[in-house]
Amino acid sequence: MIIVLIGYMASGKSSIGKKIAKKLNYNLVDLDDLIEEREHLSVSEIFKTKGEVYFRKQEALYLKNQIESNTNLILSLGGGTPCYGTNMDYILEANNVKSVYLKGAIPTLVSKLIKKKSTRPLIAHIETEEAMTEFVGKHLFERSYYYNKAEIIINIDNKTKKEIANEIVTTLF
């Protein structure tokens, strides 16, 4: 089975993915990390030098390659991956794939993002918590249509990563 983790920035897709992978003895693939490895550029460098259209085409290609691998896998997607092209439909229609949305309330996401903003080019320029809340709210509103198509929705608010990972495994098996 391929377990695809989707959600907004800082929802825990990578860190929770590691816990699930360890628990199930599955491989973990972070799609952004895979793209960086194969393209020999960081995601932000790809955006700067080759543009978003190129990045989104490569992202869709690597997503499909991972799903077609049909191995036991935890696949952690970038926050925007389900929202472009036919990526979410492809995930939902694929055999042996379960999609899990790690859903966080805006205050939960903002509190996590404020701590990590220097490592995230998309939000590095945001100065105040109020501006971050407005940005996340607008962005999440645009993306929630796609995120909510996931087969399983797990609320991450006020839970540890271990609790979330256990809840996902219990729900799936």
Query: Is residue 80 part of an annotated ligand binding site?
Result: no
| Cα 77 to chain centroid, rounded | 4
Query: Is residue 33 part of an annotated ligand binding site?
Result: no
Angstrom distances, CA of residue 64 to CA of 90, 168, 169: 8, 23, 24
Query: Is residue 120 part of an annotated ligand binding site?
Result: yes
Query: Is residue 15 part of an annotated ligand binding site?
Result: yes
- For residues 74 and 11, what is the distance between their CA atoms, to the nearest angstrom? 15
Query: Is residue 143 part of an annotated ligand binding site?
Result: yes
- For residues 68 and 2, what is the distance between their CA atoms, to the nearest angstrom? 10
Query: Is residue 79 part of an annotated ligand binding site?
Result: yes
Query: Is residue 11 part of an annotated ligand binding site?
Result: yes
Query: Is residue 10 part of an annotated ligand binding site?
Result: yes
Angstrom distances, CA of residue 118 to CA of 56, 124, 126, 131: 23, 5, 10, 15
Residue positions forming the annotated binding site for Mg(2+): 14
Residue positions forming the annotated binding site: 10-15, 32, 56, 79, 120, 143
Residue positions forming the annotated binding site for substrate: 32, 56, 79, 143
Residue positions forming the annotated binding site for ATP: 10-15, 120
